Amino acid sequence: MPLPLIPPTSPVLHLELNGGAAPADARRAAHDFLGRPARGAPAFPPVALDTALLVISELVTNAVRHTSGGCVLDLRLTADGVDVAVTDTSSAEPRPRQPGQQGEGGWGWHLVNRLGTRVEIRHRRGRDGKTIHVRVPR
C-alpha cells in the first residue's frame, strides 16, 4: 500500500501579532515560511531571505511602536519573490525621518523603500487602519 501524499506547504502565511515580541515572532515565522520550499518552489536564497526578514521586521516594529493595537502580517509567495503586507490600526501614513546616528531610529521606512519594490499604502475603507504592501524580490 503506497504512503499518502503529504500536502504541499501553503504559499501563504497569515499571522496576528501584538506586543513587544511581535517583531521577533514575525521574523521567526517568516524565516520558517520562506526558508523551506513550498509547492515545488525552491527556498529563498540567503540574501533574499535576509532582505525579506529585515523588511518584515521594520514594518512590524513600526506597526507596534506607532499604533494603538497589534498588527497582522500576511506573506504570499510569488514566482519572483514574496509579497509582504502588514495591516495595523492607524490611518496615519509612515513619514520618512532623518535617520539618527546614535541609535534613535529613523532608518526603517528608508530601508523598506530601498530594499522592497512596489511599496504601497492601502487605507481600509470605512474603518481606521492601513495595509503597507511591499514586494521583496527573490
Helix (H) or strand (E) holding 54: helix 46-66
| In the chain, % of residues over pLDDT 70 | 85
CA 119, CA 101: separation in Å to the nearest integer? Answer: 25
The answer, yes or no, to whether residue 7 has pLDDT greater than 60, is no
Sequence letter at residue 74: D
Q: What is the pTM of this model?
A: 0.85
pLDDT at residue 107, as a whole number: 73
Q: Which residues contact 30 (CB under 8 A, 6 or more apart)?
A: 13, 52, 53, 56, 73, 75
Which run of H or E residues covers position 109? Answer: helix 108-115
Task: Convert the pLDDT of each residue in 56-114 to its tens digit.
Answer: 999 999 999 888 888 999 999 988 899 999 999 998 888 877 766 766 676 788 889 99
Across the chain, mean pLDDT equals 85
Q: What does the block give as the cell for 11?
A: 504559499
**Per-residue model confidence (pLDDT) at position 40:** 63
Using a pLDDT cut of 90, give the percent of the chain over it. Answer: 54
